[in-house]
Amino acid sequence: MADPRNFDEFYDGERSFVIGGQTFHWRPLHWREWGELLDADAARQEAEKKDREKKIAVLVKKGIEEFEAEDQVDAQDTTVDAFNRLVDRCTVYLEPSEIQSFKDVVGDTSKTISYAMIAEVLRWLQGVQTPDRPTETPTGSSSGLGTSGVTSPAV
């Protein structure tokens, strides 16, 4: 009889990554914490969307063209704010004892850490929480002939 699969070893692999020359460790989230995180993120995005729409509507009522109102509202959200939100989202996955060090490293202006790097770290951290599942939505295939333009005869 075969040994049963040991799910306690599900996250038994390497749980570290390097950014800014420093090594950090991610922690597996409890399923409820993971679900609450996803739910909270979806709720936050929906609230931000509604808040943006309200701000635009107020400006339009004041006589500002809608496209100009959108530009004004979008300019209020700075790149630094977006970067800080991204860093905060990454810290959810880190060992608690390493959170401040992570913030210090990514905030260190002597290190060349880009917004794209932090976004990729977040994508990776989310992906390792769900092994064997794609971290990005697969692209759809188009109907019709393939790239060669050749069809196979019916059998």
Does 3 reside within a domain? no
Domain count, the chain: 1
Does 69 reside within a domain? yes
Structural domain boundaries, residue 101: 16-128
Does 21 reside within a domain? yes
Does 4 reside within a domain? no
What is the full per-residue pLDDT of the chain (155 aa) written as tens digits?
A: 777 777 666 665 678 899 999 999 998 888 898 889 889 888 988 998 999 999 999 999 999 999 999 988 888 777 788 888 899 999 999 999 999 999 999 999 999 899 999 999 999 998 887 765 544 544 554 444 544 454 445 54
Does 94 reside within a domain? yes
pTM for the whole structure: 0.63
Q: Is the dihedral of CA 59, 60, 63, 66 positive or negative?
A: positive
Does 77 reside within a domain? yes
Does 98 reside within a domain? yes
Does 93 reside within a domain? yes
